[in-house]
Every structure is written in C-alpha cells, then in structure tokens.
Structure 1
C-alpha cells in the first residue's frame, strides 16, 4: 500500500522542484515500505545520467540508442506536453530504495507523469522505468501500484500511456495492470527511429470508456 503525503506536502515538494532552492531528500510525494519517490531536481543530473548509462536497454529499444548526456538530460527535465494539450501538473519523479530511517538510498526508477492531460481527471504516464536488474523482482509492480494510488489521490479517474510495439515486456506489464489498448499510431519518432505506439487506457473511477473518449478526442479511432 502506498503512503501518499498530504496535498500541502505535494505542493511543497513541487514548489521546491520548480525553484530548486530547498533540499527535499526526505520530502516524498509518495512512498511504499521499500521505496521513496520524490521530485527530480537539476542537481540530480549526475545521478540520473548514471542511471541511464547503467540501464540503457529501453533507450536502445525505442530510440535506437542512448543519446549523449546533454540531450538526454534536456529531454528529461525540459520535455512537456505539446502546447495544444492542456494539463494542470507535470511531474518528473525519482524512485529510491529507502534506508532504515526512511531516507533515500539508491536511485532505482524514473517516472514522468501528467495530471489532467487534455481533460480533467486524466492521468498520463509518459515514462516509467525501473532498473534492469530489478525487473522480475516485483519492484516495478510495487512502484506502479503506489503511482496509481497517488494519481487517483490527485483526482485521476482514467489513466493513459503509450507503449511501443517492440516493447513486449512493457505491453505485458500494462495489460496485467488492467490497461486496454484503444488506439495504435504508426511511424512515431523516438530518438533515431520510428515506432508503432499503442495508446492504452485504464479506468480507475466512475467513468465509462465512452465517456472517456467523449473527453479525449485524441484517443478516438477516427482522430488522426
């Protein structure tokens, strides 16, 4: 079970990410028995790059290879939804294992997520990566369950994401967690290659798929 912090604490952590003036090492956005998740800061750049270098498999699979440090970090910190997509919050989060006194220990995961993307109540998971050595350990499931709980606590009634066709492990993971493929787009550029991308959606509140599609025109079959 995740342990979300209060709304005031979430705002405090988000504010610190934006201004990067106060340490938030123990200021979790949410946490589990083994993991602490907090906002990324510019001063985390070295740790984030080290994580990317130690876990390059995803970048190789979807982008044709790990880009250079500056390109990778610029994408991580400065990428936002397109101007035509409304949203209320955008979070770049780091997942750490915890020490005995509940402080961060080892960086083991990266998350990018958006609140109210294109419509109120739509939580979007833009990026979700766990360290390669932990795949199959149950850590990814623990982290995802906590993330879903937190997104629901922020008012999400539907969750969406995109998964590339060649990411068999990812497709299986999201399907096990209740996501349904509702649309497929082809020739989507990631890094140095193009991918087929499946949009997947999970309803987590009092919402029907028809109501969701009425809110999010981009995910309708007839929308380019």
Structure 2
C-alpha cells in the first residue's frame, strides 16, 4: 500500500525506516538516523519550494514502512516534478518495489500536471544510477562536488519525460 505520510502520525515509522536504511544515509551524508533527519524529510523542499506542496509518500507492507518518497513540484521549472528521495529499507531492496513505487510517483506527477520528472543520483551510488537509467532516465547533467552533511559528492541530475 502506498499512502501520504504525516509528520505527526508517521515520524516514528520514518525514523524506524531510516534506521533500517542507515547504509544509504551514511553514504549520502555520514549522518546517523535521528529525529532531526526525520524532521528534514518532512520539511525539505527544493530551492524556492514549499514543503507543504510536496508529496511525502510511504510504501507499507504488513503495516510496516518499507520505503519513502519525497516528490516536489515546480522545480527546476513550472512543469517539472523533482524526486528528492526514494529510499528503501535494506530488507526491501532488490525485489521490484522500486519500479512499482516509481510507477506510482510518475502517475502522481502527471496528475499534478508535470511533464518531466527529475532527480539527482550520487556518483558514489552506481547501483542507484543503473536503476534510474534502466527506468528511462537520462540526459545526465553533472554538478561539481558539493557537501552533503559530512560527505562531498558529485551529483548527476537525470530526467525522464512523463
């Protein structure tokens, strides 16, 4: 089941998921899962964006949160949707959930009038990049190294027409 997440009712489940996906958080920022990471998930938005206009979605199985998405709208241009995060618990990876969740995200973006879906993948995450490219994302734009938490990353922005 996929549903919208609420900071008041779902913060503990999101924290539990971050703990089960701590390897990704470590790769991305060197941080450990805590309440501040959860708060950032619920309040993060692209530059000039509004977090309340974003979709914070959860993939649940047997009542347990297995994956999350952060989907923003109007960035970098008005008809764009930006997938800021799609993350799964370690035990949920490699079983087709990413593809199914992505289909839902694409439809949600289309429903809001988006004609293009964008995301950034870390150069340090070649498996992630391979997944996105296998799903039709392309036209890479490489950004100079930038700090994310305790890490410095080259980010590669990919997009897909909807």
The normalised TM-score by structure 2 is 0.90
Q: Once the 2 structures are TM-superposed, how far is the Cα of residue 150 of structure 1 from its aligned partner?
A: 1.8
The residue aligned with 2:71 is 113
From 32, 53, 73, the equivalent of 1:89 is: 53
1:1-224 equivalences under 5 Å are 35-67=1-33, 69-83=34-48, 89-97=53-61, 105-204=63-162
Q: Which has the higher contact order (CA 8 A, sep 6+)?
A: 2
Q: Once the 2 structures are TM-superposed, how far is the Cα of residue 185 of structure 1 from its aligned partner?
A: 0.9
The normalised TM-score by structure 1 is 0.67
Distance 1:86 1:93 in 2: 16
Q: Deviations over 1:133-191 (max 9, x none)?
A: 12111111111112112211221111100000011111011001110143111222211
Distance 1:118 1:166, change over 3 A: closer
Q: Once the 2 structures are TM-superposed, how far is the Cα of residue 121 of structure 1 from its aligned partner?
A: 1.5
Distance 1:144 1:109, change over 3 A: same
Q: Deviations over 1:183-204 (max 9, x none)?
A: 1112222111110000101112
Alignment gaps of 5+ in structure 1: 1-34, 100-104, 205-224
The residue aligned with 1:214 is none
Mean Cα displacement is larger for which, 43-52 or 195-204? 43-52
CA RMSD in angstroms, aligned pairs only: 2.0
Q: Once the 2 structures are TM-superposed, how far is the Cα of residue 88 of structure 1 from its aligned partner?
A: 9.0
Distance 2:123 2:42 in 1: 26
Distance 2:76 2:17 in 1: 31
